[in-house]
Amino acid sequence: MKDLLILLGIAGLLVALFTGAIWAGSRMSQTPDLETTQTIEPEGAPELPYLGTMPPIEGIDGWINSNPLVQDDLAGKVILIDFWTYSCINCIRTLPYIQSWQEKYADDGLVILGVHAPEFNFEKVYENVLAAAVQYGLTYPIAQDNNHTTWRNFNNRYWPAKYLFDQDGNLRYYHFGEGSYEETEAAIQQLLSVKEEMTEELAVDRSGINSPETYFGYWRTENFASPEGVVEDTPTTYTNPQTLPLNHWSLSGDWSIEYQHSEAQTSGARFAFHYSAGVANLVMATADGTLQDIVVYLDGQAVPAELLGAHTVRDELTGGTFIQVEFSDLYELIAGEPGEHLLEIEVLEPGLQIYAITFG
């Protein structure tokens, strides 16, 4: 047992010992049912509690925006540790706030360390993480925790997760999932003994989200509706069911359902998901890293102009809607007012890999 204490992020639980628990991570894709923050008031906040000491930052495979940091480099600093992974929509939505705190408080003694703990194998690739850091304008140090060594040291379970330590290395505040940005910034200000105008928090309306994040590898998938059922690691010809219930998915054509993803084996293979939300995102890659055009349908037709996601484009000659997949990442296919829809994609050549779908 490691001789440190940390407050677990669920209501009613007391401080527990770190044991290097087996990883059982999950993305915070909905507003969690459990209490996931050490709530404080921005004005006149009480003294933050002492919740343990900082576990070691170790087992790091690569560094971005920094030379390798060791514990001595962090001595005397207020440290914000952010566990994230670049294809997680919930992590992506937190990044502007974290970068804002970097710009506002670095000169006051705040050190932000983004610990990139991958969920999928392609997120272990240094160039992929570097490209994401550039895309989102991140300038603070990022450590690649590819084997989840530091993740386990923290006994962490969530993407994203934030841990705030004072100048003596004591854990004083934590938060799991999105939100509570003002509370987090107030805790930073308290430990730095500074006062700044709070970063404006953008409201995220989740009232229209009635579909859960769903994975398409056999390690953790659910609600697969093709009558053939999941056939592991074997190219199989799948068919659609007569009806596709809400929050279920199906494949048609030749696919191989593998541990972390499903991979199209032939051109013309299709994927379908019946969802209820405003925004639909797919985590996708291609087997050999080459560019592929993927046809996107909504309710059996080309996606209407008012519902085109950030990565979906319309072919003005044919009227069809497409997405180009090359970089292993999260792609926004649909964006608009919440509603119930059937999302389908069709591949034009083999090799497309689909990992997960998320909603917003």
CB 65 within 8 A of CB 133: yes
The verdict on residue 206 lying in a domain is no
**Residue-wise pLDDT tens digits, 273-329:** 999 999 999 999 999 999 999 999 999 999 999 999 999 999 989 999 999 999 999
Q: Are strands 249-257 and 262-264 parallel, antiparallel or unpaired?
A: antiparallel
The verdict on residue 75 lying in a domain is yes
**pLDDT of the residue at 2:** 34
For residues 19 and 99, membership in a common domain is answered with: yes
For residues 177 and 240, membership in a common domain is answered with: no
88 vs 207, higher pLDDT: 88
Q: Is the pLDDT of residue 12 over 70?
A: no
The verdict on residue 182 lying in a domain is yes
The number of distinct structural domains making up the chain is 2
For residues 223 and 151, membership in a common domain is answered with: no
Residue 319 tokens read as: 């009227």
The verdict on residue 12 lying in a domain is yes
For residues 177 and 220, membership in a common domain is answered with: no
The verdict on residue 135 lying in a domain is yes
Q: Is the pLDDT of residue 22 over 90?
A: no
Domain range for 315 is 214-359
CB 279 within 8 A of CB 309: yes
For residues 178 and 61, membership in a common domain is answered with: yes
**Helix orientation angle between 89-105 and 181-192, rounded to the nearest 10 degrees:** 30
Picking from 319, 117, 97, 73, the residue whose alpha carbon sits closest to that of residue 198 is 97
User: In the listed set 125, 158, 192, which residue is the last one of a domain according to the structure?
Assistant: 192
Q: Is the pLDDT of residue 11 over 50?
A: no
The verdict on residue 158 lying in a domain is yes
pLDDT, averaged across the chain: 88
The verdict on residue 120 lying in a domain is yes
Q: Are strands 312-314 and 5-7 parallel, antiparallel or unpaired?
A: unpaired
For residues 141 and 171, membership in a common domain is answered with: yes
**Residue-wise pLDDT tens digits, 166-188:** 999 999 999 999 999 999 999 99
For residues 239 and 109, membership in a common domain is answered with: no
Q: Is the pLDDT of residue 196 over 60?
A: yes
CATH code (residue 298)? 2.60.120.260
The verdict on residue 239 lying in a domain is yes
CA distance 253 to 346: 10
**Residue 206 pLDDT grade (very low, low, confident, very high; cuts 50, 70, 90):** confident
